[in-house]
Amino acid sequence: MFGSKQMKPSILPAQHRCTVKETEDNCEFEEFEGTPLYAALLTYLSYGVLCIFGWLRDFLRQSYIEKKKGALDPNAKLNFVPLYQSYESFYTRNMYTRVRDIFNRPVGSVASSEFDLVERISDDYNWTYRYTGNTIRAINFGSYNYLGFAEKDGQCAMAAINSIKSNGTALCSTRSELGTQRYHNELETLLAEYLRVESCIAFGMGFATNALNIPAIASKGDLILSDKLNHVSLILGVRMSGAKSQTFAHNDMDDLEQKLHNAIVYGQPGHHRPWRKIFIIVEGIYSMEGSICRLPLLVQLKKKYKAYLYLDEAHSIGSMGKNGRGIVDYYNMDPNDIDILMGTFTKSFGSSGGYIAGKKDLIDHLRIHSHANYYASSMSAPVVYQILSSLHILMGRDGTKDGMRRIQQLADNTRYFRKKLVDMGFIVYGNKNSPIVPMMIYMPARVTRFNREMLARGIAVVTVGFPATKLVEARVRFCISASHTREMLDKALSAIDEVGDTISLRYSKRYEHRRLKDLK
């Protein structure tokens, strides 16, 4: 249960297999070192103790002995319908509220490589907060600002600001009515050229790009095979589509092929008629694991079984590949081999919204049938011009090599930061080229302590625990940016080294436990 995760022997034909050496050379090798047994046992014990004290506090509250506001359920007095199940409410009252200060911190500036956090304190055990009027300057390792385009000045910021002067801030209409302007068409044309596909359609919200477009292409009588670790926007879209869905083990091509084989052989349950369509839905980079999809094998499988491949490049577009075109570019593959390309503008482009790209027939279908296109307000001018400016830089149309510099800087920063963490003996998940770097913490008390100690040293990080992860897989998730300087990375590594030594976070059994000063 707590051993290292290993790939099963492949059931694909021999020409599809890769040796470990070949896999490392092709930049597909990923590590998921197993949870140490003692860490798992201590984590379970920690949650057990928290539950015992929570039940005790609830008993004292019901006995009118407990007076602290932090233990009260606010909905009970108002006779509202409970928003949570009983244990969820219990967890919120007695566990989450204790450490609520490390989550949802308000940001007081542009979320670039360094930013200001608004200082807040609580007088009632994290039930409410009051602001002191001060800010905390910190290096930002929590935002998906991969290429550093989230800036308060510079070419992109000025393009967004100037667009307001000529186009205003909103159109107050949908794309299908009066909301399509010249700059919307320009964005979709330029993006299709950048991605090397026939056509593209843009939407104002990244989450809705998945949730509202999957129901427009899949329906009853279809089968969707979804990676077990897919984002909730994909899961919601699958559920809303009405199609039958199955999950396959994360990045496990053997499990996927077995399900594809069974779908072809047995057809639909009951009457065994063939499925109308079979979709495979995966992500380019998985935001909680730092892993990347095995796109070459996915394309081989989808061709072999005549399925459709839906690739979510929300985190990989801009951040992966020598030209920043995502996982397709990373593997140097033909984008026409992927039936539906999806991505967002909220990460690498420093803006908001999302897109679907592919064949013109697909995009024309979505323009008519997608609720995200028909009912949502169109993207505002400054949002679009931020993306256009970013694209021009990435494509070198600004007359500089700044786009390529950002892509290369992100790759260098990612490999440097990951290698240092691994060499110090921390357990780090994912692919060595993924700018999302999860480092395992496991125990709930250490999650809280690590977050607070890092902020005290001027480093803002995102820590994630149950229920966002499995109970014994709490972690800190570092997001690397091209705008991080080597000095910023070294300062963060020094703080991680110090805090990790203080609260004993060096769990790895594969690598020697060393201090940062001892590394060459």
Tens digits of residue pLDDT in 254-295: 999 999 999 999 999 988 899 999 999 999 999 999 999 999
| Residue-level pLDDT at 91 | 82
Tell me: the pLDDT tens digits for 103-133? 999 999 999 999 999 999 998 888 889 999 9
Residue 88 and residue 126 share a domain: yes
| In the predicted structure, residue 141 carries a pLDDT above the cut 80 | yes
Whole-angstrom distance, CA of residue 326 vs CA of residue 338: 12
Which residue would you say has higher pLDDT here, 203 or 91?
Answer: 203
Assess whether 511 and 384 both reside in one domain. no
Give domain status of residue 217, yes or no. yes
- What strands, in cross-sheet order, belong to the sheet with 436-440? 436-440, 475-479, 462-464
How many percent of the chain have pLDDT more than 70?
91
Q: How many domains does the structure of the chain reveal?
A: 2
CA 164, CA 168: separation in Å to the nearest integer?
A: 4
Report pLDDT for 15: 29
In angstroms, rounded to a whole number, what is the distance separating the alpha carbons of residues 38 and 36? 6
Segment 399-412 mean pLDDT: 96
Residues 336 and 377 in one domain: yes
Residues 95 and 81 in one domain: yes
Give residue 68's pLDDT.
Answer: 64
Burial 477-506 (b: 16+ CB within 10 A, else e): bbbbbbbbeeebbebbbebbbebbeeeebb
Residue 19 has pLDDT above 60, yes or no: no
**pLDDT, tens only, 41-81:** 999 999 999 999 988 988 887 787 877 655 555 566 677 76
What span, in angstroms and rounded, lies between the C-alpha atoms of 495 and 501? 10
User: Tens digits of per-residue pLDDT, 202-231?
Assistant: 999 999 999 999 999 999 999 999 999 999
At residue 468, the pLDDT reads: 87
pLDDT of residue 5: 44
| pLDDT for 16 beyond 70 | no
Specify whether 406 is located in the same domain as 377: no
499 found inside a domain: yes
Alpha carbons within 13 angstroms on the beta-carbon side of residue 181 total 19
Please tell me the distance from the alpha carbon of residue 443 to that of residue 40, in angstroms, as a whole number: 8
CATH of the domain at 96: 3.90.1150.10
Look at residue 11 and tell me if it is in a domain: no
Residue numbers of the domain that contains 118: 33-140+401-519
Do 262 and 356 reside in the same domain of the chain? Answer: yes
Q: Domain containing 257 — which CATH number?
A: 3.40.640.10
pTM of the predicted protein model: 0.90
**For residue 180, pLDDT beyond 50:** yes
Say what the pLDDT of residue 452 is.
Answer: 97
Boundary (domain end) residue, out of 395, 423, 450? 395
In this structure, of 20-29, 117-126, 476-485, the range with the lowest mean pLDDT score is 20-29
Place of tokens 């984590």: 43
Q: How far is CA 253 from CA 87, 190, 227, 249, 282, in A?
A: 36, 34, 10, 8, 12
Residues 443 and 405 reside in one and the same domain: yes
Annotate 451-464 with three-state secondary structure: HHHHHHCCEECEEE
User: What average pLDDT does the segment 476-504 reach?
Assistant: 97
Pair of tokens at residue 309: 């491949």
Whether pLDDT at 498 is above 80: yes
The one-letter code for the residue type at 223 is: L
Q: Which of 367, 395, 423 finishes a domain?
A: 395
* Mean pLDDT value across residues 488-503: 97
Extract the tokens encoding 434.
């993924």
Task: Kindly state whether residue 228 falls inside one of the protein's structural domains.
Answer: yes
Is residue 211 domain-shared with residue 164, that is, in the same domain?
yes
Average pLDDT, the chain: 90
Binning pLDDT at 50, 70 and 90, where does residue 444 land? very high
* Range from 9-13, 39-43, 309-313, 426-430 carrying the lowest mean pLDDT: 9-13
Single-letter amino acid, residue 519: L
Residue 1 lies in a domain: no
Do the Cβ atoms of 505 and 426 come closer than 8 Å?
yes
Q: How confident is the model at residue 487 (pLDDT cuts 50, 70, 90)?
A: very high
Same domain, 497 and 411: yes
Where is the domain boundary, 362, 395, 428? 395
Q: Domain check: are 203 and 295 in the same one?
A: yes
Question: Out of 6-15, 105-114, 178-187, which region has the weakest mean confidence (pLDDT)?
Answer: 6-15
Q: Tell whether 346 is covered by a domain.
A: yes
The answer to whether the CB of 222 falls within 8 A of the CB of 276 is yes
Q: Which helix (H) or strand (E) holds 283?
A: strand 278-283
Asked if residue 123 and residue 39 are part of one domain, the reply reads yes
Let me know if residue 459 belongs to a domain: yes
Evaluate whether residue 93 is within a structural domain: yes
Could you tell me if 216 and 358 lie in one domain? yes
Which pLDDT band, with edges at 50, 70 and 90, does 480 fall under? very high
Least confidently predicted of 11-20, 133-142, 262-271, 507-516: 11-20
Residues of the chain with pLDDT > 90, as a percent, come to 80
Is residue 74 reached through a cis peptide bond, with omega within 30 degrees of 0 on the bond before it? no
125-129, 195-199, 204-208, 234-238 — which is least confidently predicted?
A: 125-129
pLDDT of residue 90: 81
Q: How would residue 21 be classed by pLDDT, with cut points 50, 70 and 90? A: very low
User: Average pLDDT, stretch 7-33?
Assistant: 49
pLDDT of residue 58: 80
